[in-house]
Chain A
């Protein structure tokens, strides 16, 4: 048992709702240090995927991840399109290769490794890493924490709280960074004092999925 398609579909719906609920936060940050289109891009992507749930629900998990990746690639555009697409296509690849190996005992760890592989794919696509004031400042610590907690056989609720905490800290960490990648990179020191809008939207998405898992557990 790896990440199940039903969870992917429920996550798509809750991520879309959560992004819309945080419009003001995300837009405000992007207007301060971006070019003002991040919210619209992420919303367009999340809305499209949420609208595909009927198409996704009968697919194998790896096929669902791949379909999400391909769809994001053609709907988001700019740099965010390939980055989010790489995240999902990476998760698709890992899921396909490890489906058989998942058991009742290790499925949290397989899920953590799937996410880690997706984050790694995004990192390689953007030729970036933590500390550059980007989405990775939230995604990388969230992923590392997920892997650590899962490898310690912690219960779902504990894993979720740890991952959300890591995402929050990662987001806060972007406040004092100078951006060296992404749209804020031209601002130099002027970006200091502002949270990164991409990191914020990732933190919102992580909270949405963790809240969903907490309700289910």
Chain B
């Protein structure tokens, strides 16, 4: 393993400190328990809190700011944060309209957020994201995994919350988006958890893992490496089989890098996916290409499709100002 490390045990705090200092105009870091909030606390709105293990940057802390999250709770690498973090974050950002937790569907995250919710004396609700259509059950989950589609939920629910909408409406929009979103990932190499010091799984130069999870969990199949168009075709078909969109449906298309695939290859994947989706008479109304939900240093990419409607489109378009996502502001 060759990584930028001082002391493995201190990595998380150094990462969080760097992030918070670099974006000190937008966010503020709180330590012990660890959580990150907006620099300027919002008033009279549903407070939106997400969190999860480190290693998926910029998810979730990168999405703190106007139009998205109020706080994020980072865990150790690929390890769920703990309820004391969520409770402290909730107390810090509560703005009189309740707390909405956005939680990716992994056993550890679900249980820790569930216990925090039970102990929280404030009005609260939870949206579970489960957009990964690769597998029903995997190493870390019961049910589908939450992956890059989580970012769409955080963006749109964040926008709705800024309008002063109530907790039930924010939850309903989150659940609706999750139901209309599907993702699938493919890995060309494994990721390496710094504390483990070795790759999570073995994969040769002539293989790919179709349906890989963002922690390096096994996917649908180990397959032979082949040309990009053929790989993307299988990914797009898996998504369309899951979503069954009607003809002329407007969609949001995200091509997401898993950490070690350059942007130039992501655009090549986008080009291939866009052509295929057009052949299926789908209208790509909005797009995003880049590293938005990563798996440390995995080479690979995921494709996410969200079936838009007027409400989702309006909130996707709305102004946002966070370290990792910014437009119309």
User: Which chain A positions have C-beta within 8 A of B82?
Assistant: 73-77, 81
Which of B111, B112, B115 counts the most chain A CB atoms within 10 A? B111
Residues of B within 8 A of A35 (CB): 196, 200
Distance between Cα atoms of A74 and B79 in the complex (Å): 12
- In the complex, are the beta carbons of B111 and A126 less than 8 A apart? yes
Q: Are A79 and B108 in contact (CB under 8 A)?
A: yes
Secondary structure call for the B interface:
loop
A82 touches B79 (CB 8 A): no
Q: Which of B150-205 contact A (CB under 8 A)?
A: 195-196, 200
Does chain B have a CB within 8 A of A131? no
Known: A77-B75, A77-B108, A78-B79. A36 touches B196 (CB 8 A): yes
- Residue B140 lies at the interface, judged by CB distance under 8 Å to chain A: yes
Contacting pair A181 B80 (CB below 8 A): no
Closest to A183 in B: B139
B78's nearest neighbour on chain A, judged by CB, is A35
Residue contact B111 to A125, C-beta cutoff 8 Å: yes
Asked if B248 lies at the interface with its beta carbon under 8 angstroms from chain A, I say no
Instruction: Return the CB mask of A119-140 against B: 1 if under 8 Å, else 0.
Output: 0000001110000000000000
Inter-chain contacts of A183 with B (CB < 8 A): 139-140
Sort A-B residue pairs by CB-CB distance and give the 8 closest, nearest first.
Answer: A186-B139, A82-B111, A79-B108, A78-B108, A74-B84, A79-B107, A74-B82, A77-B79
A50 within 8 A of B: no
Q: Specify which chain B residues have a CB less than 8 angstroms from the CB of A204 in the assembled complex.
A: none
Asked whether B80 lies within 8 Å of A79 as measured between CB atoms, the reply is yes
Interface size class of B (residues with CB under 8 A): 20 to 34
Once the chains bind, are A186 and B81 in contact (CB under 8 Å)? no
* Complex interface: chain B residues within 8 A of A186 (CB): 138-140, 217-218
Q: Is A206 an interface residue (CB 8 A)?
A: no
Asked if A111 CB lies within 8 Å of chain B CBs, one says: no
Known contacts A74-B33, A77-B76, A77-B82; A185/B111 CB under 8 A: no
User: Does B83 count as interface, using CB distance less than 8 angstroms?
Assistant: yes
Per DSSP, chain A at the interface is: helix
Contact check, A79 vs B111: say whether CB atoms are below 8 A apart. Answer: yes
B139 touches A185 (CB 8 A): yes
5 more A-B contacts (CB under 8 A) besides A82-B108, A125-B111? Answer: A79-B108, A81-B80, A82-B114, A83-B111, A127-B142
Question: 0/1 per residue, A63-89, Cβ < 8 Å to B?
Answer: 000000000011111110111011000
**Chain A minimum-CB-distance residue to B195:** A37
Shortest distance from the beta carbon of A124 to any chain B beta carbon, whole Å = 11
Q: Which residue of B lies closest to A81 (CB)?
A: B82
User: Would you call B317 an interface residue if the criterion is a C-beta within 8 Å of the partner chain's C-beta atoms?
Assistant: no
Task: Look across to chain A and name the residue whose beta carbon is closest to the beta carbon of B81.
Answer: A77
Complex interface: chain A residues within 8 A of B81 (CB): 77
B24 at the interface (CB under 8 A from A): no
- A selection of 29 A-B contacts at a CB cut-off of 8 Å is A73-B83, A73-B112, A73-B115, A74-B33, A74-B83, A74-B84, A75-B82, A76-B82, A77-B75, A77-B76, A77-B79, A77-B81, A79-B108, A79-B111, A81-B82, A81-B112, A82-B111, A82-B112, A125-B114, A125-B115, A126-B107, A126-B111, A181-B142, A182-B107, A183-B140, A185-B138, A185-B139, A186-B140, A186-B218
Per the bound structure, the CA–CA distance linking A125 and B112 in Å amounts to: 10
In the complex the two chains form, what is the Cα distance from A61 to B81 in whole Å?
28
Which B residues are in CB contact (< 8 Å) with A75? 82
A77 with B138, Cβ < 8 A, contacts A82-B111, A126-B111 known: no
Query: Considering the complex, which residues of chain A in the window 166-181 have a beta carbon less than 8 Å from any beta carbon of chain B?
Result: 180-181
User: What is the distance, in angstroms, from A205's C-beta to the closest C-beta of chain B?
Assistant: 20
What's the least CB distance linking B88 to chain A, in Å? 10
Interface residues of B in 93-109 (CB under 8 A from A): 107-108
Residues of A within 8 Å of B83, CB to CB, are: 73-74, 82
Residue among A36, A180, A185 with the highest chain B CB neighbour number at 10 A? A185
Q: Is there a chain A Cβ closer than 8 Å to B137's Cβ?
A: yes
Q: How far is the CB of A122 from chain B (nearest CB, A)?
A: 10
State how many angstroms separate the Cβ of B111 from the closest Cβ of chain A. Answer: 4
Chain B contacts for A37, CB-based, 8 A: 79, 195
In the complex, A127 Cα to B114 Cα: how many Å? 12
B-side contacts of A127, CB under 8 Å: 142
